[in-house]
Structures are given as structure tokens and as C-alpha cells.
Amino acid sequence: MNTTGTEIKAMILENIAKHHGIGSHCATTALRTLTNAAGYPFSEAFCFGLSGGLGFTYQKYTSVRYHFFTGRNECLEEGIVNVLGGKLLKGSSDNSAEAMETAKSFIDMGLPVILEVDMMKLDYIKDKLNLKRPFHFGLHSLIMIGYDEENAYVLDYMWWEPIKVPLSQLEAARDSQDAPIKPSNRWKVIIFNNDGNIDYEPMLREAIRGNVHKIMHPYAFKMGHDGLRVFRREFERWFGKMDADLLRENCYMMSVLFERVGTGGGNFRRMYGQFLDEANRILDLPCIARASSVYSQSFRKWRTFAKLLDAASEAEEIDKEPLLKLTDELIELEKAGMDALAEV
């Protein structure tokens, strides 16, 4: 038990907090914290790769004016449990007060809880990002590790230390109706069974092969490599269909999604390349070395793409040619990376 103030006592899972550190993406930082706490010596990038996290999704929701993108697959928690073993508990609720009591009950049992929230409902995130336009994102993940009578204590990827958040504010963030994908009070609890015996080679092969399948054979047409091609075709049409303000807004939101809020292409390509480097210390395959080099190049091009989009969002007239050329290069690189990894 830790004490905050003179009267209010907080239950905080210090054994989880001590394994937390700053990361580059919310969900993968959470996985690193939880695997490290369970005794696995994994980096954030290694967690991302084990979960089969690399992906691409392009979508338009009717409730907002901009398009949504992510550079990873969904269900990272499911992916890493499938490879490592253990148990994943999860749920959601339309009752925010009941959902908060559920989270508290896991804390009481000594189990940290991954919560999904609308990031713009949390003051500490809104102040940190300082975005030019409001952006409600309901899939932001954090770990709740404690609570007292008035506050929750959470771990988030851009902060070293636990953050104190009013329970009412966290409840509102979990129950937000403003995001195109609503958080719906979703929660996840991972229970790892680490017996100290890790057979890395089959585990790594399974994770890489599974990720190749997800990208090259996605279950929806705007996902994976096919989704990237669909985006390229539709992106070119934006310049003739959208008015100038809407086009600039979409360019800005793409740049934010690709770089600022950790959901886009560049960061995940950087992490996947790092994962492949780590994996190849064990597997030692030329095809993995080639793929790692490809994703290092892809990371830099996605970052350049985001910078061009940010500049385009402020331009009087947008030059589409450099943007389309970069998109073509990204499609080629992504295919080259998958072709190399198909040999694993």
C-alpha cells in the first residue's frame, strides 16, 4: 500500500510500475511492461514482432471528415499470448461505473488492467500532444495499476512514472462517444505462465510466418498489402474530388496518424526492422537480414511521407506528384519485405 496525501490511501501495483519505461507506441509499451514484469527479457520491438503486429489498415468512418490509418494489426495482446502461452481475459461494458469496478477488482487481485480510452478525454495526453485540430481516438491503450478513493494510477507510453488521473476523467475517457471507434469500456488482463524455458526458434518462425499471412492474405480488402494498394488508388482521386480545405484536413490527419500518435506506418516499420535484427541473432537467416534492411528503408520513407503531408496541410496548392511517387515506392518496399520473409 502506498499513501498519497495524508488521508487517502492508494493501492498501487509497484511490482508492475518498476518495469515500466517510455516507449514509442501505447500497446507495445504495455506489452513490454507486462512481459518484463512476468520475467521475459523482451524489448518493445520484440513484443511487437512476437505479436505479429505489422500491418496496414485504411478506413473511412462516416462520423468524421478524415480517413483513418494504422500501420499495425489489431489484437496484439491475443497475438503475443498465442505465441508465448498464458491466458487473456477481456471484456467491455455499456455501464461505465460497472466497468470501473471491474478494473478495480483486478487491481485488488494484483493484476494490472489494459484499458482502451479516447485519448482526447485525458488532460495529460491532450496537453502533451498539443494537436492543431481535435482528434478523438478511442483505441489508445494504457495500463491501470492502482486506485484510491478519487484517482486511478496508470502507466502510459510517453511517461516514465505512474500518472494520477481522476477516476471520473478516466471513466469518461473509457466511455467516450466522440471517437469514430468508441472505446466501449474495453479492458484486457494478461496472465503469463513463464516457466523460464523459452524455445525461441519455433516461436519466432511462427510469429513471422503468421505476420506474413496477415499482410498478404488479409480478411478485409482495405487491410494489409491489398489495403495499401487501395489507398494508393483512392489517394490520387482525392485531389480531384475533395475541396481544398477537406484535402488539407485529410493531409494533416494522415501526418498525425503516421507520426504523432504512434498508429501509422513509420514507427511500426522501424520496430519491425529492430525485431527482425533481434530475431536473426537466433535464426541467422539471410532472408531476415534482407527484410530488416527493407523495413529500415520503409521507416524512413514513411517518415518522409508524413512530413510532406504535414507541409501539404498548410500549403495553398498541394503538389500531389511527390506524395504519389512516395506511395508507389512504399508499396514496392512493403512487397519486397514480405517476399523476403516468406522464405522463413
> For residue range 236-255, what is the model confidence (pLDDT) as tens digits?
999 999 999 999 999 998 88
Q: What is the pLDDT of residue 6?
A: 41
The reply to whether 70 falls in a domain is no
> For residue range 115-124, what is the model confidence (pLDDT) as tens digits?
999 988 999 9
The reply to whether 239 falls in a domain is yes
The C-alpha atoms of residue 219 and residue 47 are separated, in whole angstroms, by 23
Q: What is the pLDDT of residue 4?
A: 40
If asked whether residues 213 and 173 sit together in one domain, one would say: no
Check: CB of residue 307 under 8 Å from CB of residue 266. Answer: no
Mean pLDDT of 7-21: 88
The C-alpha atoms of residue 135 and residue 263 are separated, in whole angstroms, by 13
The C-alpha atoms of residue 12 and residue 148 are separated, in whole angstroms, by 9
CATH number at residue 106: 3.90.70
Higher pLDDT, residue 122 or 179: 122
If asked whether residues 246 and 138 sit together in one domain, one would say: no
The C-alpha atoms of residue 270 and residue 302 are separated, in whole angstroms, by 10
Please identify, among 149, 170, 191, the residue that sits at the C-terminal boundary of a domain: 191
Task: List phi, psi (to 5°) of 68.
Answer: -110, 140
Instruction: Choose the weakest-confidence range: 63-67, 94-98, 194-198.
Output: 63-67
Instruction: Choose the weakest-confidence range: 113-122, 128-137, 187-196, 268-277.
Output: 128-137
If asked whether residues 183 and 204 sit together in one domain, one would say: no
Task: Please classify residue 249 by burial: count the beta carbons closer than 10 Å to its beta carbon, then call 0-12 exposed, 13-18 middle and 19+ buried.
Answer: middle
Residues 6+ apart with CB under 8 A from 151: 4, 10, 164, 165, 166, 167
Q: What is the pLDDT of residue 262?
A: 58
Mean pLDDT of the chain: 92
What does pTM read for this prediction?
0.93
Q: What is the pLDDT of residue 264?
A: 60
If asked whether residues 205 and 180 sit together in one domain, one would say: no
If asked whether residues 330 and 181 sit together in one domain, one would say: no
Residues 6+ apart with CB under 8 A from 172: 96, 121
If asked whether residues 115 and 217 sit together in one domain, one would say: no
If asked whether residues 229 and 315 sit together in one domain, one would say: yes
Q: What is the pLDDT of residue 312?
A: 95
Please identify, among 142, 167, 191, the residue that sits at the C-terminal boundary of a domain: 191
Q: What would the 3-class secondary structure string for 51-108 be?
A: CCCEEEEEEECCCCCCEEEEEECCCHHHHHHHHHCCEEEEECCCCHHHHHHHHHHHHH
Nearest to 10 by CA among 161, 168, 145: 145
Mean pLDDT of 186-200: 93
Between the alpha carbon of residue 89 and those of residues 38, 141, 272, the distances in Å are 16, 15, 26
The reply to whether 50 falls in a domain is no
Q: What is the pLDDT of residue 263?
A: 59
If asked whether residues 291 and 273 sit together in one domain, one would say: yes
Total domains in the fold of the chain: 2
Which residues span the domain enclosing 109? Answer: 2-37+87-191
The reply to whether 52 falls in a domain is no
If asked whether residues 185 and 214 sit together in one domain, one would say: no
If asked whether residues 116 and 163 sit together in one domain, one would say: yes
Mean pLDDT of 60-89: 90
If asked whether residues 169 and 93 sit together in one domain, one would say: yes
If asked whether residues 209 and 313 sit together in one domain, one would say: yes
The reply to whether 214 falls in a domain is yes
The reply to whether 58 falls in a domain is no
Please identify, among 161, 191, 221, the residue that sits at the C-terminal boundary of a domain: 191
Residues above pLDDT 90, as percent of the chain: 78
Mean pLDDT of 36-41: 96
